[in-house]
Amino acid sequence: MLKLYFAPGTCALASHIALAEAGADYTVERVDFKANQQTSPDYLAINPKGRVPALATERGILTETPAILAFVAQSFPNAGLAPVDDAFAFAQVQSFNSYLCSTVHVAHAHRVRGSRWASEESSFADMKRKVPETVGACFALIEDKMLSGPWVMGEQYTICDPYLYTIATWLGGDGVEIAKLPKVAQHHQRMAERAAVKKALAEQA
Protein backbone atom coordinates (compact mmCIF):
# COMPACT_ATOMS: atom_id res chain seq x y z
CA MET A 1 0.00 0.00 0.00
CA LEU A 2 1.33 3.41 -1.02
CA LYS A 3 0.69 6.52 1.06
CA LEU A 4 0.98 10.00 -0.41
CA TYR A 5 1.62 12.96 1.88
CA PHE A 6 0.09 16.06 0.33
CA ALA A 7 -1.19 19.55 0.99
CA PRO A 8 -3.98 21.09 -1.09
CA GLY A 9 -2.88 23.57 -3.73
CA THR A 10 0.64 22.15 -4.00
CA CYS A 11 2.42 20.17 -6.69
CA ALA A 12 1.55 16.98 -4.75
CA LEU A 13 -1.62 16.96 -6.84
CA ALA A 14 0.42 15.74 -9.84
CA SER A 15 1.56 12.59 -8.03
CA HIS A 16 -1.95 12.11 -6.63
CA ILE A 17 -3.51 12.18 -10.10
CA ALA A 18 -0.84 9.80 -11.41
CA LEU A 19 -1.60 7.29 -8.65
CA ALA A 20 -5.28 7.49 -9.52
CA GLU A 21 -4.55 7.09 -13.25
CA ALA A 22 -2.38 4.06 -12.52
CA GLY A 23 -5.15 2.35 -10.58
CA ALA A 24 -2.74 2.08 -7.65
CA ASP A 25 -3.81 0.98 -4.19
CA TYR A 26 -3.04 4.12 -2.19
CA THR A 27 -4.08 6.30 0.70
CA VAL A 28 -3.42 9.99 1.19
CA GLU A 29 -2.50 11.96 4.29
CA ARG A 30 -2.89 15.70 4.47
CA VAL A 31 0.02 17.72 5.88
CA ASP A 32 -1.36 20.86 7.54
CA PHE A 33 0.71 23.72 6.16
CA LYS A 34 -1.29 26.33 8.13
CA ALA A 35 -0.11 24.66 11.34
CA ASN A 36 3.43 24.28 9.88
CA GLN A 37 3.12 20.53 10.22
CA GLN A 38 5.66 20.15 7.39
CA THR A 39 8.39 21.33 9.77
CA SER A 40 7.28 19.16 12.72
CA PRO A 41 9.76 16.51 13.92
CA ASP A 42 7.30 13.76 12.91
CA TYR A 43 7.07 14.99 9.35
CA LEU A 44 10.76 15.82 9.05
CA ALA A 45 11.41 12.17 9.91
CA ILE A 46 9.39 11.32 6.79
CA ASN A 47 10.81 14.07 4.58
CA PRO A 48 13.78 16.02 5.98
CA LYS A 49 13.17 18.68 3.31
CA GLY A 50 9.91 19.68 5.00
CA ARG A 51 8.02 19.67 1.72
CA VAL A 52 5.34 17.72 -0.07
CA PRO A 53 4.86 15.41 -1.86
CA ALA A 54 6.36 12.41 -0.12
CA LEU A 55 5.37 8.90 -1.10
CA ALA A 56 5.69 6.12 1.48
CA THR A 57 6.32 2.76 -0.20
CA GLU A 58 7.07 -0.65 1.27
CA ARG A 59 10.77 -0.02 0.53
CA GLY A 60 10.95 3.50 1.92
CA ILE A 61 10.04 7.11 1.26
CA LEU A 62 10.34 8.84 -2.10
CA THR A 63 10.33 12.60 -2.62
CA GLU A 64 10.44 15.02 -5.57
CA THR A 65 7.61 15.08 -8.09
CA PRO A 66 9.52 13.97 -11.22
CA ALA A 67 10.93 10.96 -9.35
CA ILE A 68 7.55 9.97 -7.91
CA LEU A 69 5.86 10.33 -11.28
CA ALA A 70 8.44 8.13 -13.01
CA PHE A 71 8.17 5.62 -10.14
CA VAL A 72 4.40 5.38 -10.61
CA ALA A 73 4.78 4.97 -14.37
CA GLN A 74 7.41 2.27 -13.98
CA SER A 75 5.58 0.45 -11.16
CA PHE A 76 2.29 0.25 -13.04
CA PRO A 77 3.36 -0.45 -16.62
CA ASN A 78 -0.10 -1.57 -17.69
CA ALA A 79 -1.35 1.99 -17.19
CA GLY A 80 1.02 3.14 -19.96
CA LEU A 81 1.89 6.43 -18.25
CA ALA A 82 5.38 6.75 -19.76
CA PRO A 83 7.46 5.06 -22.49
CA VAL A 84 9.81 3.68 -19.85
CA ASP A 85 11.47 1.17 -22.20
CA ASP A 86 12.35 3.73 -24.88
CA ALA A 87 15.32 5.73 -23.60
CA PHE A 88 14.79 8.69 -25.95
CA ALA A 89 11.02 8.95 -25.57
CA PHE A 90 11.30 8.54 -21.79
CA ALA A 91 13.95 11.26 -21.71
CA GLN A 92 11.57 13.60 -23.53
CA VAL A 93 8.99 12.96 -20.81
CA GLN A 94 11.56 13.53 -18.11
CA SER A 95 12.89 16.66 -19.81
CA PHE A 96 9.43 18.21 -19.74
CA ASN A 97 8.91 17.32 -16.08
CA SER A 98 12.38 18.56 -15.19
CA TYR A 99 11.58 21.92 -16.81
CA LEU A 100 8.40 22.13 -14.75
CA CYS A 101 10.19 21.44 -11.46
CA SER A 102 13.38 23.44 -11.98
CA THR A 103 12.10 26.44 -13.93
CA VAL A 104 8.30 26.80 -13.98
CA HIS A 105 7.56 25.83 -10.37
CA VAL A 106 10.54 27.92 -9.25
CA ALA A 107 9.30 30.98 -11.17
CA HIS A 108 5.89 30.57 -9.52
CA ALA A 109 7.39 30.13 -6.05
CA HIS A 110 8.87 33.64 -6.16
CA ARG A 111 5.36 35.02 -5.71
CA VAL A 112 4.96 33.95 -2.09
CA ARG A 113 8.17 32.11 -1.18
CA GLY A 114 10.65 34.93 -1.73
CA SER A 115 12.09 34.36 1.74
CA ARG A 116 13.69 31.17 0.42
CA TRP A 117 16.12 33.28 -1.60
CA ALA A 118 16.23 36.77 -0.08
CA SER A 119 15.74 38.58 3.22
CA GLU A 120 14.26 42.04 2.53
CA GLU A 121 10.59 42.90 2.10
CA SER A 122 11.51 45.09 -0.87
CA SER A 123 13.05 42.06 -2.59
CA PHE A 124 9.96 39.94 -1.95
CA ALA A 125 7.79 42.66 -3.50
CA ASP A 126 10.13 42.94 -6.48
CA MET A 127 10.08 39.16 -7.02
CA LYS A 128 6.31 39.09 -6.75
CA ARG A 129 5.93 41.82 -9.37
CA LYS A 130 7.99 39.84 -11.86
CA VAL A 131 6.02 36.57 -11.58
CA PRO A 132 3.46 37.34 -14.31
CA GLU A 133 6.37 37.93 -16.69
CA THR A 134 8.48 34.91 -15.69
CA VAL A 135 5.65 32.40 -15.41
CA GLY A 136 4.14 33.90 -18.55
CA ALA A 137 7.40 33.35 -20.46
CA CYS A 138 7.56 29.73 -19.29
CA PHE A 139 4.02 29.06 -20.41
CA ALA A 140 4.55 30.84 -23.73
CA LEU A 141 7.38 28.38 -24.38
CA ILE A 142 5.18 25.46 -23.33
CA GLU A 143 2.37 26.72 -25.60
CA ASP A 144 4.62 27.36 -28.61
CA LYS A 145 7.25 24.62 -28.42
CA MET A 146 6.50 21.91 -25.90
CA LEU A 147 2.82 20.95 -25.73
CA SER A 148 2.22 18.72 -28.74
CA GLY A 149 -1.50 18.17 -28.15
CA PRO A 150 -3.89 16.74 -27.34
CA TRP A 151 -1.54 15.61 -24.56
CA VAL A 152 1.88 17.04 -23.75
CA MET A 153 3.71 14.29 -25.64
CA GLY A 154 1.10 14.00 -28.41
CA GLU A 155 -1.40 11.16 -28.72
CA GLN A 156 -0.04 9.38 -25.65
CA TYR A 157 -1.22 10.54 -22.22
CA THR A 158 1.80 10.49 -19.87
CA ILE A 159 3.03 11.61 -16.45
CA CYS A 160 3.69 15.03 -18.02
CA ASP A 161 -0.04 15.71 -18.18
CA PRO A 162 -1.00 15.70 -14.50
CA TYR A 163 2.11 17.75 -13.72
CA LEU A 164 1.32 20.42 -16.32
CA TYR A 165 -2.31 20.46 -15.21
CA THR A 166 -1.29 20.98 -11.58
CA ILE A 167 1.07 23.87 -12.30
CA ALA A 168 -1.45 25.45 -14.67
CA THR A 169 -3.98 25.62 -11.81
CA TRP A 170 -1.68 28.34 -10.37
CA LEU A 171 -1.78 30.57 -13.47
CA GLY A 172 -4.62 32.81 -12.32
CA GLY A 173 -2.89 33.58 -9.03
CA ASP A 174 0.35 34.16 -10.92
CA GLY A 175 -1.28 36.83 -13.07
CA VAL A 176 -1.15 34.85 -16.32
CA GLU A 177 -4.35 34.55 -18.37
CA ILE A 178 -4.80 30.95 -19.40
CA ALA A 179 -7.30 32.07 -22.04
CA LYS A 180 -4.40 33.61 -23.98
CA LEU A 181 -2.71 30.18 -24.13
CA PRO A 182 -5.20 28.18 -26.20
CA LYS A 183 -3.35 24.84 -26.21
CA VAL A 184 -2.68 25.03 -22.47
CA ALA A 185 -6.31 26.03 -21.84
CA GLN A 186 -7.65 23.14 -23.92
CA HIS A 187 -5.29 20.73 -22.17
CA HIS A 188 -6.47 22.03 -18.81
CA GLN A 189 -10.12 21.50 -19.71
CA ARG A 190 -9.39 18.03 -21.12
CA MET A 191 -7.61 17.09 -17.89
CA ALA A 192 -10.44 18.43 -15.70
CA GLU A 193 -12.81 15.97 -17.37
CA ARG A 194 -10.74 12.90 -16.51
CA ALA A 195 -12.03 10.59 -13.80
CA ALA A 196 -8.60 10.40 -12.11
CA VAL A 197 -8.41 14.18 -11.79
CA LYS A 198 -11.91 14.37 -10.32
CA LYS A 199 -11.03 11.54 -7.91
CA ALA A 200 -7.80 13.19 -6.71
CA LEU A 201 -9.42 16.60 -6.28
CA ALA A 202 -12.30 15.00 -4.30
CA GLU A 203 -9.80 13.15 -2.07
CA GLN A 204 -7.99 16.43 -1.35
CA ALA A 205 -11.18 18.42 -0.61
- In a 13 Å sphere around the CA of 165, the CA atoms on its Cβ side amount to 29
Q: How far apart are CA 159 and CA 168, in angstroms?
A: 15
Three-state SS string across 140-175, please? Answer: HHHHHHHCCCCECCECCCCCHHHHHHHHHCCCCCCC
Q: Which of residues 118-147 bind a second copy (CB under 8 A)?
A: 118-120, 122-123, 126-127, 129-130, 134, 141, 144-145
Q: Binding to a second copy by residue 153, rule CB under 8 A?
A: no
Q: Which of residues 4-63 bind a second copy (CB under 8 A)?
A: 48-49, 57, 59-60, 62-63
Q: Binding to a second copy by residue 167, rule CB under 8 A?
A: no
Q: Which is nearer to a second copy, 20 or 135 (CB)?
A: 135
User: Least Å distance between CB 58 and a second copy?
Assistant: 9
| Nearest by Cα to 158 from 88, 69, 85 | 69
Q: What is the CA radius of gyration of the chain?
A: 17
- Give contact residues for a second copy (rule: CB under 8 A): 48-49, 57, 59-60, 62-68, 70-71, 74-75, 87-88, 90-92, 94-95, 98-99, 101-103, 105-107, 110, 116-120, 122-123, 126-127, 129-130, 134, 141, 144-145
